[in-house]
Each structure stands twice: as C-alpha cells, then as structure tokens.
Amino acid sequence: MQGMDGKQFDRQMFPVLQEKTFLLCVGAAKCATSWLHDYLGSKPEVTVSPLKEVHFFDARYPVNALGDADDFAMTRLDFHLQQAGRAATNLKDRPTFQASVDRAQMIYDDSAYFAHFARLCTGETTCCCDLTPAYSVIGADGFHFVRDFFASQDSNLKPLFLMRDPVDRFWSQLRHMQQMNPDRDVIGNWRNAITAPALLARADYRGVVTTLDRIFPSEKLLYLFYETMFETDHALRDLCSFAELPFSPGVPMRVRNETTFKAAIPERVQAALLHTLRPQYEFCRERFGARIPETWLS
C-alpha cells in the first residue's frame, strides 16, 4: 500500500488489531505523558508498549528530531544484550528487552510496528496506545502517512494532543535537556535554545493543531490540557469516553519522568519566552476559548 506522500508499506494484516481503538498520543513533551502511560497501562482493556515512547513515526519524518530514534533503538537493544546472564533467558523474562527487539525490527520493516502491538494484545484488549510526544513535529506529510498507515489495518485511529502553558512547558523541556546533557549548559545558553527550530516546533501548538484538524475528522481527535488533568476527573472521563474505555479514577499525581534539575525561570527568560510564544497563546485562546486553564500566563 502507498501513502499520500508516496511512501510504500506492506499491507500485512493483523486481525487482532482490526476495529480496535488505537490511541496515538502525539504530544506535547513534558505534559504528563509518562503518568498517562501508567494510568492507561493499568487498565486491562488497554495495551501499551513497555517502551512507552515507540518513536516509530518520528524516525521516518525526522526533520525536527532531537536525536536519531533508530540509533537510540539499537543502543537500547545493545544495552539489553550486554546485561548479566544468558541473553536468551533475559529475553524470555524481560518485556522491555522483547519490545526493544520489536523496535529494532521496525527500522527495516514497517509492519513490525503493528506486529509489536498485536503481540502484546490480550483477550481483554479493546484499545492499543502509543504515547510518543515527538510525533508532534512530524509535520503534515508525517500525519498523512499516519492516517494512511493505520487505515491499512482498519484500526480506529484516534490522535490525542496534550497541551501545557507554553512558557511553562518550554522551560520544563529546557530543564530536562540540562539534566540529560549537563555539559551543554542548555540553561546558560537559553537564547540559543529559544530560537532552535527543533524546540520551537515542539512549542508550535498552532501548527500541530491546525495540521491535525485538517487531516483527521474532528470526532477522531481529542485535545486536553495538562493543568486540568489532575484538578477534577473531567479530563480523564473525556479521555476514557474518547478511547471507548470504562472510566476509573487516576491515582493522585505521582510524577513520572520528573525533571530533577530544578531552577526557577528567571524573569528575563520568562519575558523572552512569552514574547516568542505569544502567538501560541493567542491561537489557543481563539481555538479553545474557555477551555484554556486560568493559570496560563497570557
């Protein structure tokens, strides 16, 4: 089968996936997607990847990538192969090792993406879920491919996009990058960071939302806000209804993948970010109106 962008992929069918809901969380980064992975993964009706972030589509549309997703997949697989004990025994016993093998196969076999989730499905599964925030920057060509790719399986694809106060989210991402790369002094070089195309693409709610709105039917899209995920159960109820899942309350916010590098945002940085991201605030207020959390800066 060929997608709109001319990319070819084999129509290898996985009957276990047909007509199942496939929740594809496409971002944004630093919006509690790790917590959401745990919440959804606790439901017997939901199949999530042990990898949490599969990084399949951004590997194919890497224009705004922050790293090479396929190289990372091989590094992770090598890590598992180097662990103490017999590799074959470890592979039998460790779901993340098994998932890492699946992800390595996706480098050369597109059908391995669906095979991964098909292997993980149980008799109770009604919904599969891939939460990879980097999908937010794959662009229109990438999302056209996503749409056509899932159509090849007759899956009920439902993209989800989470948003957070743009300045707060951007600063959280900078702190996370500083934590992961302490020698690069991302915080000290914040002026470069707030003009970096790959980082600005992750902050471009307007670009992501308008692209999703154009490519997917409105009834197949859900937009939620990080700040309201834990205030009441309304957001989770909306999510469960959207994914056709029974509602269950979430556990109190237990931070996952927390950025341990703490630094209050300096006033000059906040002002610069607010200036840069003001169009995002304006777009969101026009597009979502009263749904915008009161705590947003602008």
CA distances from residue 51 to 56, 97, 129, 192, 282 in whole angstroms, order as listed: 11, 9, 11, 31, 35
Q: Which tens digit of pLDDT belongs to each residue from 139-162? A: 999 999 999 999 999 899 999 999
- Residue 45 pLDDT > 50: yes
Q: Which tens digit of pLDDT belongs to each residue from 57-89? A: 999 999 999 999 999 999 999 999 999 999 999
CB 174 within 8 A of CB 190: yes
What pTM did the predictor assign?
0.92
CA 208: distance to chain centroid? 13
Beta-carbon contacts of 264 under 8 Å, excluding residues fewer than 6 positions away, are: none
Q: Given the structure tokens 């599964």, which residue do they identify?
A: 125
Beta-carbon contacts of 131 under 8 Å, excluding residues fewer than 6 positions away, are: 25, 33, 36, 37, 40, 48, 52, 53
Share of the chain above pLDDT 70, in %: 93
Q: Given the structure tokens 């989730």, which residue do they identify?
A: 117
pLDDT computed for residue 93 by the predictor: 97
Assign 23 a pLDDT band (cuts: 50, 70, 90): very high
**DSSP assignment of the chain:** -B-TTS-B------GGGTT-EEEEE---TTSSHHHHHHHHHTSTTEEE-TTS----HHHHS-TT-SS-HHHHHHHHHHHHHTSSS-HHHHHHH-HHHHHHHHHHHTTT-THHHHHHHHHH--TT--EEEEE-GGGGGSHHHHHHHHHHHHHTTT-EEEEEEEE--HHHHHHHHHHHHHHH-GGG-TTTTHHHHTT-HHHHHHT-HHHHHHHHHHHS-GGG-EEEEGGGTTTSSHHHHHHHHHTT----PPPS----S------PPPHHHHHHHHHHHHHHHHHHHHHHGGGS-TTS--
pLDDT computed for residue 11 by the predictor: 67
Assign 261 a pLDDT band (cuts: 50, 70, 90): low
Domains and CATH numbers, the chain: 15-291 (3.40.50.300)
pLDDT computed for residue 7 by the predictor: 52
CB 10 within 8 A of CB 231: no
Q: Which tens digit of pLDDT belongs to each residue from 116-127? A: 999 999 999 999
pLDDT computed for residue 3 by the predictor: 45
Nearest to residue 27, comparing CAs of 60, 55, 59?
55
